[in-house]
Structure 1
């Protein structure tokens, strides 16, 4: 499939220089297709997950527990991106790490496809581990295709790669969601495994077109470091095994024995990582100042993702129980709502890029802080919109599908205002010592937000109640206004970053 999109290279000397993929190195086709199929498998399973958790034919959990499981799973995917990047840097190299990751993800989906509830959480764990291993390393390999950060094709290459993510995310709920909801849940999970198998096959076949440096381990562990790391891992694994064996034998085991430690880790680890950086005496005054400014963005981003990621849990569970999932009399599966965001991203991202450029030419482009605060206000506004269908449902009626589409629309506009800016400001404000680690720190904001949602759900908070939704909406709006009001202080801490 990828070869039909290639042509002669206009820039000989780059990896895969005999052909190009839309004017980019041929290896981009391999990574584009791999990521597209991996995202197809991930978002398809993710669209089914909350519905399967509450369905009588699934695990039949209550809404709070289902939301907790979903939130913990998503937070783990982003949390594990840090050790995933570490494996690529120090153990296997990016190419081998991605191959192993694809295999683990595929096995995870196959485990989910088994008609046994006893293996379900093991399957979720495998998918989370594999996604964490893959996430940072495949993006690293895209960068390897270009001649350094100043290569004029680099930004365009990542844009093409990003389109692959959204194509997979758009198609997955339409295919996997439909089969899972209307035919058989486990067949849907099996289709997710097939998607990852196609991505893994594409990667293995096309890996000859990747840059040679993708096979290199940048900073390999010494023999002593390897032994120490293995010993520590075995000790912690042993402690966990003994603890859960004792809990299980005592007959007191419940799902919360697993969920609570994972959600607490999702909140505590991001705080520990930032605190360790702030205590680093090797950072100069300018770097410390920028790090202080970055904490503002990090906390605000955690609030943003706490609300935004409920689009896959709280909103899906509401739609299943209380929405009229039809348009002009035509009914559709609930999982299809998860295709709204990626199709809006593909439609609106070029518009936003053009809009910011047009404002920049006029000298009117908003600052990073204003864009960021706007994103927070918008995600808060999306939950204020959510109050309308909640009110309709409380009146004993089904809410129209377009209410949910409107919520996803507002959230997507907020995402395009905040997420690209967050990625950009992360790279600009990273201390030199932590340049390669800061993208993992940005992912930890997602971890913290989803872990907070998990903790609320475990505590028994009903996230589909009007009072809670209004409180979350107000929290995001207040956070956005606070950043705007303190914009001059944050600007001063940012130094030369604007």
Structure 2
């Protein structure tokens, strides 16, 4: 996913007093270097492990993998990715009510590090426990570290603010670009678990940097915005213990019956990921405190949410479906140079670093001429492009039939089209989320935006389980691509209706 635009994180940041310091980081507060390096190493660990995940799951036991079927491996990947974004919602809440952003990020980083080292242990049980740790830790860290960048600039009109976020997000893409090249190579060519261990080392380096450089961070990041009273805390803990106990009893009973398999967990988490977005929207929609205008805007936002869910359903298959295609159906040699299939995972961050400045300039240039597309049109373009990428995949899959290895240029083109679609849809979606948010739920709407990723990944998991190996067929690519393109066409056709629901938001 592309990073959160500066203006979004700035609105979420609290006003604080920056500690004076003579030294700066490229003219910015010293704390920016701490957060830059922390996020870079966290993304290095996250994307490095993700590049190996589905390949390790489906690799036969003779090659050190878990030997799962392709459909199950892809579904586990999709559910893991869904949980990362789902847990960002409680991650922000925990910061606001319990620990504050600084402590929450530190604890999240430590949990991520432990999770990666658990993956490095050659045991199936510890592997899945490790995935759970990484998902929980990522939810804690992801929800709060961007807000801490905003804390470094007490003055909302500080001219350095946008530049600071640009530098910070460069760290995200640098980490994401380097990870498959390093961790992917070691994991694929040397040893899976050594690759996972390298991801843990990366997070450890980020955590050490965060702790050592903590003195340069804003004091605002220590503040618990809305501390939870003891009585409310105890009530919440009792409810959490009840639901956790219920889950343990249920799965324990299934285990005793001898029917417990990984599919039970896949379907349970898939249902959770699909139900929660519906429940959240329904709860907000029924709130009597909302005005008629806010209800209309929320109705308009549902259009964007559904389109985004379809977009992420396809986009997030880069680490699963496309990763397997790269390994099984794509030649790992170009211009006489051999490379591991995990290297394809570095294309998206490379494209983002190259194209993001171009798009930033393009929207400003079009706006000056009065030709800047509306939000709905941009969403439509992004949806059509993500659909077109899978039409390209349909052709590539057809070319690979009969065991032929296709040229790497097919995947290079797919990732390019997807990145252009991402830059058209994702930043705009983040921005419109803040603009259409009811005042009462302004701080929660960003978490709701991440639920679109959760919903999309869960739909992918359902399809992967139902279709099995057929999910990797050219027909499957065609159906998914056409569905996304039709969603884009619908956004364009009904743009006036959506625009009317948006009220004063453009």
Category of TM-score, reference length = shorter chain: over 0.9
Tell me the distance in 2 between the aligned counterparts of 1:430 and 1:152.
26
Distance 1:245 1:369 in 2: 47
> What are the Cα deviations for residues 277-332 of structure 1, in whole angstroms up to 9, with x where unaligned?
11111011111111111100000000000000111100111111111121023221
Choose from 367, 372, 383 the match for 2:374: 367
Question: Which residue in 2 is equivalent to 1:18?
Answer: 22
2:284 is equivalent to residue 277 of structure 1: yes
**Secondary structure at the counterpart of residue 19 of structure 1:** coil
User: Normalising by structure 1, what TM-score?
Assistant: 0.96
Residue 7 (structure 1) aligns with: none
Q: Is residue 469 of structure 1 aligned with residue 477 of structure 2?
A: yes
Shift of 1:469: 0.9
SS state of the match for residue 463, structure 1? helix
Following superposition, the deviation at residue 148 of structure 1 comes to 4.7
Quote the residue 1:488 is aligned against. Answer: 496
SS at match of 1:445: helix
Match of 2:386 among 379, 388, 413: 379
Runs (5+) with no aligned partner, structure 2: 1-16
The separation in 2 between residues aligned to 1:132 and 1:335, in whole angstroms, is: 25
Greater CA drift, 294-303 or 391-400: 391-400
Aligned partners of 1:354, 1:213: CA distance in 2, in Å?
33
Shift of residue 246, structure 1, vs aligned partner:
1.2
Report the RMSD for the aligned CA atoms in angstroms.
1.2
Aligned pair partner of 1:213 in 220, 229, 251:
220
The 5 A counterparts of 1:158-307 are 158-307=165-314
Tell me, in whole angstroms, the C-alpha distance in 1 between the residues paired with 2:372 and 2:446. Answer: 25
Q: Which segment is superposed worse, 24-33 or 291-300?
A: 24-33
> Is the Cα contact below 8 Å between 1:316 and 1:335 reproduced in 2?
yes
Q: Which moved more, 1:44-53 or 1:229-238?
A: 229-238
- 2:37/2:206 contact within 8 Å kept: yes
Aligned to 1:458: 465
Q: Aligned-pair distance for 1:395?
A: 3.8
Partners of 1:176 and 1:188 within 8 A in 2: yes
Q: Following TM superposition, by how much is the alpha carbon of 1:127 offset from its aligned partner in structure 2, in angstroms?
A: 0.4
Q: Which is worse superposed, 414-423 or 51-60?
A: 51-60
Deviation at 1:155, TM superposition (A): 2.3
| Stretches of structure 1 lacking an aligned partner (at least 5 in a row) | 1-12
Q: Would you say the 8 A contact 1:16–1:27 is kept in 2?
A: no
Q: TM-score normalised to the size of structure 2?
A: 0.95
CA offset digits 1:247-268 (Å, max 9, x no partner): 1111111111111010111111
Match of 2:42 in 1: 38
Residue by residue, what CA displacement relative to the aligned partner does 1:369-390 show, whole Å, maximum 9, x if unpaired? 1111100000000001101210
Deviation at 1:17, TM superposition (A): 3.5
Q: Is the contact between residue 395 and residue 474 of structure 2 (CA under 8 Å) also seen in structure 1?
A: no
C-alpha distance in 2 between matches for 1:290 and 1:157: 31
- Is 1:325 the counterpart of 2:332 in the alignment? yes
Report the Cα distance in structure 2 between the residues aligned to 1:378 and 1:138, rounded to whole angstroms: 31
Q: Distance in 2 between matches of 1:22 and 1:289?
A: 44
Deviation of 1:233 after TM superposition, in Å, equals 1.1
Measured in 1, the distance between the counterparts of 2:427 and 2:160 equals: 18
1:29 to 30, 33, 45: 33
Between 254-263 and 453-462, report the one with greater CA deviation. 453-462
Assess if the C-alpha contact under 8 Å between 1:289 and 1:494 holds in 2. yes
SS at structure 1 position matched to 2:153: coil
Q: How many residues align?
A: 487
* Correspondent of 1:47 among 48, 51, 56: 51
The superposition leaves residues 467-492 of structure 1 with CA deviations (integer Å, 9 ceiling, x where unpaired) of 11111000000000000000111111
Q: In structure 1, how many angstroms separate the alpha carbons of the residues matched to 2:188 and 2:487?
A: 38
Structure 1 runs of 4+ off > 6 angstroms? none
* Range with greater deviation from structure 2 (133-142 or 443-452): 133-142
Distance (whole Å) between structure 2 residues aligned to residue 58 and residue 262 of structure 1: 23
The corresponding residue for 2:76 is 69
